[in-house]
Amino acid sequence: MKLLRYGAPGQEKPGLLDDTNLVRDLSSLVSDIAGESLLPEALDKLSKADIAALPVVAGTPQEDLRLGPCVGSVGKFICIGLNYSDHAAESGLEVPPEPVVFNKWTSAIVGPDDDVEIPRGSQKTDWEVELAIVIGKGGRYIEEADAMDHVAGFCVVNDVSEREYQIERSGTWDKGKGCDTFGPLGPWLVTKDEVGDFNNLDMWLEVDGKRYQNGSSSTMVYKVPFLVSYLSKFMSLQPGDVISTGTPPGVGMGQKPPVYLKGGEVMTLGIDKLGSQTQKVVKA
């Protein structure tokens, strides 16, 4: 299933993209694509619903029908750094012996095609296409062999990053990662049964039509089941938590010379089977 949330910011309703690319309203079945509606039994119930009997939502998604973040009421937005061997190399850094963990604040979350704002005073705003895990069944101390039982599905994230704030301003990475609008999420949450082999998904990102990132989840160092298990040792994972798993090479910081967003650009990015995003870059 491709689950989504549509409508004006803060007023999104739950929906589903059917096989003909029409959006079906799920309001009669779930209150939101969030929390307990992502539990395995809830997703199983949705998968058995008569989709053709559900109301069709007017408009074309991502054209004249706005999509909001594909997960609502996200409790934790957890990110993994330097998790692609080729991205670590372009950053001039070693692959870490354990995953680098940081946070994006949930106030950074926006829809997949909403504007991305450059923070006031920023000189080094950058892009990162990433595969995100959406937690279904929560848990602590999850065994790696059981980890996929806790995954509801996957989605696209643009891990927008301010590199000066992240690297040069002292302290943790978080201050350069969680600015408002730095977490476009969607267009849809694709359930794991429909994604199939999540270890071999093509990923790409363009700025003003120029392809900068062109990678694959196959070069991910710490794989999805390991990450779910690893993180559950340090915190309880809960339904609707989002884990962004790192980016392939081609970020602005890695260009020679570096290329950063200044305002006015258009970013387009996507992942095989998970859809694409388009964001205009504006100044805050």
Cβ atoms of 277 and 207 closer than 8 Å: no
Closest to 190 in 3D by CA, of 128, 112, 107: 112
Phi and psi for 106 in degrees, rounded to 5?
-65, -20
Compute the Cα dihedral for 220, 76, 145, 233 and give only its sign. Answer: positive
User: Which single residue is written with the structure tokens 């923070």?
Assistant: 119
pLDDT score recorded for residue 86: 76
Helix (H, G, I), strand (E, B) or coil at 154: strand
Domains of the chain, start order: 69-283 (3.90.850.10)
Dump pLDDT digits (tens) for 205-223.
Answer: 999 999 999 999 999 999 9
pLDDT truncated to tens, each residue of the chain (284 aa)? 999 999 999 999 999 999 999 999 999 999 999 999 999 999 999 999 999 999 999 999 999 999 999 999 999 999 999 999 877 777 777 788 999 999 999 999 999 999 999 999 999 999 999 999 999 999 999 999 999 999 999 999 999 999 999 999 988 899 999 999 999 999 999 999 999 999 999 999 999 999 999 999 999 999 999 999 999 999 999 999 999 999 999 999 999 999 999 999 999 999 999 999 999 999 99
pLDDT (0 to 100) of residue 92? 76
Question: For tokens 């004249």, what's the residue?
Answer: 64
pLDDT of residue 89: 76
Neighbouring residues of 197: CB distance < 8 A, sequence distance ≥ 6 = none
Sheet of 242-244, strand order: 23-25, 13-17, 2-6, 189-191, 151-158, 129-135, 242-244, 77-81, 100-103
